[in-house]
Amino acid sequence: DAGITQSPRHKVTETGTPVTLRCHQTENHRYMYWYRQDPGHGLRLIHYSYGVKDTDKGEVSDGYSVSRSKTEDFLLTLESATSSQTSVYFCAITDPSSYEQYFGPGTRLTVT
């Protein structure tokens, strides 16, 4: 998984609770991304980052926030989880030498 770890790998939480997912990379790449995967939708971009404290919204950013205080860590926060945020979340990085994008193992989040 190209030096990408995600934690936790599985989480069940209740509606209305805050949740933070962590992505950690060992490649020291600047570009990092959060996607969600849902049946029938493929993967959709939530937020992305071009570097420390440099983040921007993707196509499905409502209800999510991100932070990047270190190059290696990119955090995704659901401030108040809803059932519609039940999904599998993938972090990705881009290799600047090839522009190829690599994905982490994913976090399966269930909001009850």
Partner 1 sequence: QQQVKQSPQSLIVQKGGISIINCAYENTAFDYFPWYQQFPGKGPALLIAIRPDVSEKKEGRFTISFNKSAKQFSLHIMDSQPGDSATYFCAADQGAQKLVFGQGTRLTINP
Please tell me whether residue 58 binds partner 1 under the rule CB under 8 A: yes
Where b means 16+ CB within 10 Å and e means fewer, 67-103 reads: bbeeebebbbebeebeeebbbebbbbbbeeeeeeebb
CB of 80 to partner 1, least distance (A): 26
CB of 59 to partner 1, least distance (A): 8
Please report whether residue 74 would count as binding partner 1 according to CB under 8 A.
no
Residue 54 makes contact with partner 1 by CB under 8 A:
no
> What does each C-alpha distance from 52 to 69, 86, 94 come to in angstroms?
5, 28, 15
CB of 81 to partner 1, least distance (A): 22
Give the residue among 32, 38, 36 at the shortest CA–CA distance from 62: 36
Judged by the rule CB under 8 A, the positions of this chain that interact with partner 1 are 1, 4, 31, 33, 35, 40-45, 48, 50, 58-59, 90, 94, 99-106
